[in-house]
A and B are shown apart, each in its own frame.
Chain A
């Protein structure tokens, strides 16, 4: 009888998911403790800036990375979440957490509706349709007095939150939890039948359909999920800034960064958007407070050009190739 060692069986899916959630939660807690030890309010605000892009990039990746449908309307979905939170605050005086739930529902439904109307379009035509959606939504908000219209809306946030040093720490912790959640959802999608179906659509939609992949259903799930997460990323914004106006909520930087970050980190993988968002958003924040000026989008543009030319599969793809 030979004593050949067999390879260890792969961990069951449930255990693999558990290890992610445990690891990510511990990492998030460590980050929270570290920043509290540093004791500088700027850490919370700069961290929020980076984490909102982690959520946006992870959300975009579900449709753009796995299914290959490039969404140019990220700012529109994000602003939907922002203004849903504003409406809930104005109408019922609700805070950031109910605002996030409301934003997930409204932006998810918007994603579903958009998907239903536009998924017959492919490639650049789909992208243009999503861009149009953002323009239509901005026009709607500008003309809607209840949410401040073009004047913008004020949200008077509480000065303190029990258990937290300041409101800045609280809003950072909320965004940190959302970033862990969004990345986890992206990872779950990637490892599930849904993710494999979306990847089949990206590679060849007709072939996928021919072998029985329910393409429309999967794409609708992806647009809903992606839209809901983008809305969730936008919901804390009025509480973070205390004020929001259409120019800020629909800012071009959100749309550009949301596409650039997964592409730089490695689209189509759950970790790629996280790497891209942390790298690019940290660089942008550092540029703002050091060399200053409009270098943010300049940095994004150049990194995008460099990565498309030298590492088209992003940072993760570059390492995997080697």
Chain B
């Protein structure tokens, strides 16, 4: 029997440590553990900085997809491995990370980070390598670039200006009395300005006169003077286009100043997020705002409930949005598009994948999806939902129908409009 030397002990310890470290990663992917060459899918994601809240939850959704796929035997008989880096919500970090993914990590496919500001700087690198690229929640990224291998998982479609606010303005037709005046307040950022442009362009068509139209810088924290100015105009309809921190501030100011309107809401990003819903509670009652998903019976697409169960079980430990009612199903669907296209094409061929994505539709957990020539959704599906029956900040009710009632589009409508905003629920 040989003696265990100090060096031998060291080697044994190292081998033990490596086995312990690798085993938990390899366990969910039996094929990977057996040494099969995985399909590597790379992306950068905002895991810190201003976009981290949505970036982290999108990454969790993608990990759940990878685990589901690997449990079913992988793609093309190979396990799937996700490779991602934190872009720190800084666009300048993105090009280097994508070259690292493609040239050093040798990923087979790339997917995008979350949001326009992060997707756009990845485009030159992706275009240079001719990669097929499915993006998540980008707005108008391909308008100028016209890259024929770009596809966007976002409900807004090709023409944001022409479609975005349509649903909100259609809600004015559901009001008991005709409305005449419109007030617009938008934050100075890409998505909100496009939203404001859309409602501005369509107001006349709905017989609305714009009585207030202002923008504010993203750093604004006190909305009392702005809301007072809107209140002084006594508008029938109020359209806000805002981002999470300011959506919160605006709605608190609206509540404190008791601003009331026949229809109030618009393109607010924030009320879709669980933490904001918990904070605002009944202030959200009767708010009509843009959304992408609601757990109403009309949106129970195959697989979405199962996904949300898995997501909600893990979200608290991952310290991310606990409901998964916003972009999370779309992050999962983004990966489903890749999987279905790969299954049809049968090999990793960027050109063939792009052609397939243009030619065919996809069945996803957010419903059927088909892409336009520009790579956006061929049929826009901007939801306008109304918050109803909210008495407190408890989040359980958001898991069930009846809290975020869909008013538009008609095909998904699940309830009736309550008016005005500001009236007791």
Contact = CB atoms under 8 A, between A and B. Distances in A.
Contacts of A151: 189-190, 193-194
Contact of B92 (A159, A248, A294): A248
Nearest to A241: B121
Interface in A233-251: 237, 240-245, 247-248, 251
A14 to B, nearest CB: 39
B48 interface: yes
Contacts of A143: 188
Nearest to B143: A154
Nearest to B192: A150
Taking chain B's interface residues, is the majority helix, strand, or loop, or is none over half, making it mixed? helix
10 contacts: A151-B194, A152-B117, A156-B145, A157-B124, A241-B92, A241-B121, A242-B124, A243-B120, A293-B48, A294-B86
A34 to B, nearest CB: 16
Interface string B56-95: 0000000000000000000000000000011010111111
A167 B218 CA distance: 34
Residue with the highest number of chain A CB atoms closer than 10 Å, among B49, B50, B92, B97: B92
A167 B127 CA distance: 12
A149 B191 CA distance: 12
Q: Which 7 A-B pairs have the closest CB atoms?
A: A294-B48, A243-B120, A242-B124, A248-B91, A45-B96, A241-B121, A151-B190
B318 to A, nearest CB: 14
Interface in A285-307: 285, 288-289, 292-294, 296
B120 A154 contact: yes
A42 B101 CA distance: 9
B306 interface: no
Contact of B128 (A159, A251, A285): A159
Interface in A113-155: 139, 142-143, 149-152, 154
A205 interface: no
A150 B189 contact: yes
Interface residues of A, number: 40
Contacts of A248: 90-92, 117, 121
Nearest to B124: A242
A2 interface: no
Given A241-B124, A242-B123, A292-B86, A49 B48 contact: no
Given A149-B188, A253-B90, A294-B86, A154 B144 contact: yes
Contacts of B88: 253, 288, 293-294, 296
A66 to B, nearest CB: 28
A40 B102 CA distance: 10
B104 interface: yes
Contacts of A41: 99, 102-103
A46 interface: yes
Contacts of B145: 154, 156
Contact of B91 (A42, A49, A245): A245
A195 to B, nearest CB: 32
A150 B99 contact: no
Contacts of A253: 88, 90
A243 to B, nearest CB: 4
B99 A245 contact: no
A168 interface: yes
Interface of B: 47-50, 85-86, 88, 90-97, 99-100, 102-104, 116-117, 120-121, 123-124, 127-128, 144-145, 188-190, 193-194, 217-218
Nearest to B98: A45
A313 B103 CA distance: 39
Taking chain A's interface residues, is the majority helix, strand, or loop, or is none over half, making it mixed? helix
A288 B85 contact: yes
Interface string A245-282: 10110010100000000000000000000000000000
Given A49-B96, A241-B92, A292-B85, A247 B103 contact: no
Given A166-B128, A248-B117, A150 B190 contact: yes
A245 B123 contact: no
Contacts of A289: 85, 97, 100
B328 to A, nearest CB: 21
A165 B189 CA distance: 37
Contact of B188 (A150, A166, A168): A150
B86 A293 contact: yes
Contact of A245 (B49, B190, B217): B190
A46 B96 contact: yes
A149 B193 contact: yes
A74 B173 CA distance: 52
Contacts of B188: 142-143, 149-150
Contacts of B96: 42, 45-46, 48-49, 285, 288
Contacts of B117: 152, 243, 245, 247-248
Contacts of B90: 248, 251, 253
B377 to A, nearest CB: 20
B99 to A, nearest CB: 4
B94 to A, nearest CB: 7
Given A241-B94, A248-B90, A292-B47, A152 B85 contact: no
A251 B90 CA distance: 8
Nearest to A143: B188
B95 A240 contact: yes
Given A157-B124, A237-B92, A242-B124, A42 B104 contact: yes
B90 to A, nearest CB: 6
Contacts of B93: 288
Given A149-B188, A154-B145, A293 B47 contact: yes
A93 B285 CA distance: 51
A243 B85 contact: no
Contacts of A48: 96
Contacts of A293: 47-48, 86, 88
A152 B92 contact: no
Contacts of A244: 91
Contacts of B95: 45, 240-242
A45 B91 contact: no
A285 B97 CA distance: 9
A45 B102 CA distance: 12
Contact of B193 (A139, A150, A157, A168): A150
